[in-house]
Structure 1
Amino acid sequence: MTPVSPAASDALARWLETRRALEGTAENTIEAYRGDVAGFLGFMTRHMGEPQGLGALRRIGVADMRAWMADARAEGLTARSLARKLSAVKSFMRWLAEREGIEVTAVLSARAPRFTNKLPRPLAEDAARAMIDHVELQSETPWVAARDAAVVTLLYGCGLRISEALGLKGADSPLPGVLRIRGKGGKERPVPVIGAARDAVAEYVRLCPHVLTPDGPLFLGVRGGPLSPRLIQGAMAKARMQLGLPASATPHAMRHSFATHLLAAGGDLRAIQELLGHASLSTTQAYTAVDTARLMEVYEKAHPRA
């Protein structure tokens, strides 16, 4: 990556620290922002032929923004990814303008490329249940089989992200009726735990040969260390091949399935938003589109005049 001026690097570091400290932005998001903005500053250094100190950032014009976006697309960046990068750059430059008095109209007026939001791809209810059953068959070691089934049951039964499931501690066992889950941005939410999930975790704990400590991870690898999400992804990949399911049948698809099936059963959209830990209702509303799409598919297949 092209080096940028010390002043610009320092400004980027201060902006990221602000996002981390005051807004509770997740660390993965912080790193994504760092890469997006540093890449933008590096391009401007090459494009304008000088290190982009704070003074040089004042001279970024509409043509420069177009050149950056064209370069990104030429490198194969999708419209969705470019829109994300542009959002990060605008946020950084807006913050910089407030503190340094820099004129950033050209940056803020840049339009993101249009793209179609991808709908979540949940599994059918019978496929979700079959996935849990088949994940358990991927290991001949009973406690590993029980562990993998317990994790996937939590993903589907409680709508957890895989990072949230693997973030549970030994002190969380036995699972209570309601878990306090710390999700993205450090936000905490209550999540009811169904009986099947409590039973699956209890069976794993009963069979686990390692000592679970209150402050240590609940789910362990074969050597007693924290369980890697790749192992759950791998077990699900084997199971989906056996079941003839698409590549979209991933751990996150179990969370999608949780939300979609709740909605189809009459669940309140606001309540589902809270259960998933979505900051915006618009994110949760994507599941209504999934439900509508399935309804139309059934209609077209079943209606006598379709």
Structure 2
Amino acid sequence: MDTITTAAPNNALRERMLQDMTMRSFGEHTQKDYIRHVRSFAAFLGRPPDTATIEDLRRYQIAQHERAISPATINGAVSALRFLFGITLKRPEMALGLVVVRCTPKLREVLSVEEAARLIEAAPGIKYKAAFGVAYGAGLRVSEIAHLKVDDIDSTRMLIRVEQGKGRKDRNAMLSPHLLDLLRQWWREGKRRGVMLPHGWLFPGRSCTDPISARQLHRAVHEAAEFAGIRKRVSPHTLRHSFATHLLEQDVDIRVIQVLLGHTKIGTTAIYTKVSTRTMQAVASPLDRIFSLMEGPKRTASPPG
């Protein structure tokens, strides 16, 4: 009798992998991504992934390149499969043939101060205006904005508590007086609507017991950008990029910006120096130096005759 195989990881293997990731404090999004990549590999294989060979992994990566899969997706699959075989299945030799693709980092899209003001002003309602204000005024990630609670706003110390941000790290973000005023406007409106629960979400979703979704925030930003006539490709994360870039242009120390953004490595924060206009403007072009040298003698030369 033929054995029927499945194209998805079996439940026992999936649960074991989830347990291994939980023990290592992997975030919810990372866990979902890893399971998704393993499921994709199993679908390619046509049988449970724990029966794979090194040659199967090689064929899978070749197929990914032939399908023009993005480097980020390929590298995500490499990380997931390395974890599956190296940690969960205790077969580290399987991961030796997996190849990481070099990614060329793209220049980040940044709004000007005037564009950021127009985008926030064009927000579809006070809730989204306050959420945009948190993204641009405090530099929070989309997921961090969505999971803010009312009690996370510390108006006494003028701080925003970010609990279990990226990498499951807690940190404090800045709270400016104008941002506090904007949040209070939304809090009063939310109370009037009956959606602002005591100790509840600062930005409730369609149900006041659930937080706003990242998809809702993305849609609101796109709607506001269109209304404001901004032609750049923007997302909620664009406001975070703009926050960091504008601080850098105000000569704020890059290490301070690193802490505010919650970056583990200074190199991640240094990416913003590539889009800072003031950083470029502070450098004298060699062409300007040549022209200054050429013009110098002209000023001191005596007129003929």
TM bucket normalised to smaller:
0.7 to 0.9
SS at match of 2:222: helix
Contact 2:141–2:240 under 8 Å retained in 1: yes
Residue of 156, 174, 177 corresponding to 2:136: 156
Letter in structure 1 aligned against 2:61: M
SS at match of 2:275: helix
Contact 2:134–2:179 under 8 Å retained in 1: yes
In 2: Cα distance, 1:153 partner to 1:280 partner: 26
Residue of 77, 93, 104 corresponding to 1:85: 77
Change beyond 3 A, Cα 1:4–1:259: same
Change beyond 3 A, Cα 1:230–1:73: same
Instruction: List runs of 5+ in structure 1 lacking aligned partners.
Output: 139-144
Residue number in structure 1 paired with 2:202: 218
After superposition, give the CA deviation of every residue in 1:206-234 in whole Å (9 maximum; x if it has no partner): 23323432332122457755434444333
Higher Rg of the two aligned structures: 2
Matches within 5 A, 1:260-275: 260-275=245-260
Residue number in structure 2 paired with 1:142: none
Letter in structure 1 aligned against 2:240: R
In 1: Cα distance, 2:145 partner to 2:284 partner: 37
Contact 2:82–2:92 under 8 Å retained in 1: no
Change beyond 3 A, Cα 1:40–1:128: same
Change beyond 3 A, Cα 1:222–1:259: same
TM-score (norm 1): 0.78
Matches within 5 A, 1:89-168: 89-96=81-88, 100=90, 102=91, 104=93, 106-135=94-123, 138=124, 145-168=125-148
Contact 2:152–2:161 under 8 Å retained in 1: no
Verify: 1:43 aligned to 2:28, yes or no: no
Residue number in structure 1 paired with 2:171: 189
Contact 1:210–1:224 under 8 Å retained in 2: no
Residue number in structure 2 paired with 1:141: none
CA RMSD of aligned residues (A): 3.1
Verify: 1:287 aligned to 2:268, yes or no: no
Verify: 1:171 aligned to 2:151, yes or no: yes
Letter in structure 2 aligned against 1:90: R
In 1: Cα distance, 2:290 partner to 2:114 partner: 29
Residue of 201, 207, 224 corresponding to 2:189: 207
Letter in structure 2 aligned against 1:188: D
Instruction: List runs of 5+ in structure 2 lacking aligned partners.
Output: 292-305
Aligned length: 281
Residue number in structure 2 paired with 1:69: 61
In 2: Cα distance, 1:250 partner to 1:304 partner: 40
Contact 1:178–1:191 under 8 Å retained in 2: yes
Contact 1:15–1:92 under 8 Å retained in 2: yes
Change beyond 3 A, Cα 1:218–1:51: closer
Identity %: 28
1:296 Cα deviation after fit:
7.1
Change beyond 3 A, Cα 1:87–1:217: same
In 2: Cα distance, 1:203 partner to 1:31 partner: 36
In 1: Cα distance, 2:252 partner to 2:92 partner: 47
Letter in structure 2 aligned against 1:161: R
After superposition, give the CA deviation of every residue in 1:271-300 in whole Å (9 maximum; x if it has no partner): 222211223333222212223797279978
SS at match of 1:248: coil
